[in-house]
Chains A and B, each alone.
Chain A
């Protein structure tokens, strides 16, 4: 997931994605961006909305992963209100995993 260069908030979105790269799935030990769990990042002058999913609905680590995602973005973008939206559509699948993520999963 790479923000458009022409996007007004390109720099902010890039920073948010960099921050989310620090958040790993505890079971797989792969960051949530390369796993394709981050679906969208919306930035306005004051707010940041991240749409993300989990690899499975009943992920026991779900609460911790989303809390860490929020924390990572808040630390990288102080002064913004950060909201993490957990979404289940579209359903997460292998196509969403980056090449780096696939390599780490042993593909």
Chain B
């Protein structure tokens, strides 16, 4: 079965998310430039907390929510359960994010911060409910499992985040704040982002490459490895307040990653489409960049007690601004042109334009040629605590983000002219 025409969700359920994410991406670049000095200090400080939450909520999660509203009807072969919920989620998420990020930036934890955190949690619950209600009728498969479970981890991440926020003003947690902060960050990175990227890419990569063989068993191993290691990690951290088992959980998680990469490799090896476009090349680049935060994490776990604080900052930065940002930049031009095209194109009219006509493949390449050195310079600046590298890296990242943003809006404006 394939989705009938009336299963295409309304543009308002998807496009505001992409537009806001693109603007946030530029804003993040500017905030990095303004706060370059802060990246040489400890990671727990106002500017870094604000930038991290803008990157996570305004950029990465924003695109993911928009894309999942488009993808859920495709994978479930059902209409999106509600098209009003995504509009409400967008407004709640945007206002919650603005309140939370400004509170972090000013390091002021009044009702604004708590209300912001509450609105965000509510938006996540509503979004997850809409996806569950859309997908529940579909046949059970491992890709749906990844997507739905990722949302459970997102909600857990947000609950711990809200607890941390309250703890800053009214301390009540038994262990020190940073202990829970690490749990919050790790389950967000691994449970939400990693699991969602694995789930969505496992559907999209073979589809884009026209792969003849998909070893779904590998994905099943990945799914159980990810969730087992995350549950053990969370239980140990929350209940036993210990960190002793972390190398074991990382090992289990790495088994999951290895199986996923093997699945992607099989898809690539059996691809009928031999010419890969920029979107797919950059997706593979993102997977390669994943090795940087993993190497840093191994260093953190096994280098003993005297780990320089900038290694923690570099680890988080490499994950979000390397792996996550590059995969989003790449997949934007594998998904958004089609979404826009489906809203421009009428089924009762043969197309004058194709999705590839809505964007410029060479620009996609140039965006990355600007972004990648910017990211690497900034990462080197964090590790070496070198402000000049941080400034030059952030300037390149701003130029790349502005280019990306212009490209996205150029596509979105085609809807107005058609």
Contacts and interface: CB of A to CB of B under 8 A. Distances in A.
B2 A71 contact: no
A105 B275 contact: yes
Contact of A58 (B74, B351, B354, B355): B74
Contacts of B349: 71
Contacts of A49: none
A99 B145 CA distance: 39
A61 interface: yes
B348 interface: yes
A71 B272 contact: no
B247 interface: no
Specify which of B272, B345, B347, B350 lies most central, judged by the most chain A CB atoms within 10 Å of its CB: B272
In this complex, the interface size class of chain B, counting residues with CB under 8 Å from chain A, is 20 to 34
Contacts of A63: 2-5, 7-8, 347
B351 A68 contact: yes
Contacts of B348: 67, 71
Given A68-B347, A93-B212, A61 B274 contact: no
Interface stretch (B104-112, B121-129, B202-210, B388-396): B202-210
Contacts of B206: 56
Contacts of A58: 2-3, 74-75, 77, 203, 207
Interface string B328-369: 000000000010011001011111001110000000000000
Contacts of B212: 93-94
A23 to B, nearest CB: 8
A22 B349 CA distance: 12
A68 B1 contact: no
A81 interface: no
B273 interface: yes
Contacts, number: 81
Contacts of B3: 58, 60, 62-63
Contacts of A27: 208, 338, 355
B75 A26 contact: no
B355 A105 contact: no
Contacts of B1: 57
Which of B3, B71, B77 has the most chain A CB atoms closer than 10 A to its own CB? Answer: B3
Interface string A56-94: 111111111011100110010000000000100000011
B341 A22 contact: no
Nearest to A97: B272
A59 B347 CA distance: 16
Contacts of B75: 58
A68 B338 CA distance: 15
Contacts of B71: 60
Contacts of B345: 64
A86 B247 CA distance: 51
Given A55-B210, A61-B342, A64-B345, A105 B2 contact: no
Interface in B1-17: 1-5, 7-8
A52 to B, nearest CB: 11
A107 B30 CA distance: 44
Nearest to B276: A106
Given A68-B347, A105-B272, A29 B356 contact: yes
A64 B207 contact: no
A17 interface: no
A71 B350 contact: yes
Contacts of B341: 26
Given A60-B74, A63-B2, A68 B350 contact: yes
Contacts of A24: 351, 354
A104 B31 CA distance: 44
A57 B351 CA distance: 22
A28 interface: yes
Interface string A30-58: 00000000000000000000000011111
Nearest to B334: A27
Nearest to B272: A94
B347 A106 contact: no
Nearest to A60: B74
A22 B352 CA distance: 11
Contacts of B272: 94, 97, 105
B143 to A, nearest CB: 9
Nearest to B5: A63
A56 B338 contact: no
Interface of A: 22-24, 26-29, 54-64, 66-68, 71-72, 75, 86, 93-94, 97, 105-107
Given A55-B207, A63-B8, A67-B347, 6 more contacts: A26-B355, A27-B208, A58-B3, A63-B7, A66-B2, A106-B275
Across chains A and B, which 7 residue pairs bring their CB atoms closest together, nearest first? Answer: A62-B2, A106-B275, A67-B347, A106-B274, A63-B5, A60-B74, A94-B272
Interface of B: 1-5, 7-8, 70-71, 74-75, 77, 203, 206-208, 210, 212, 272-275, 338, 341-342, 345, 347-351, 354-356
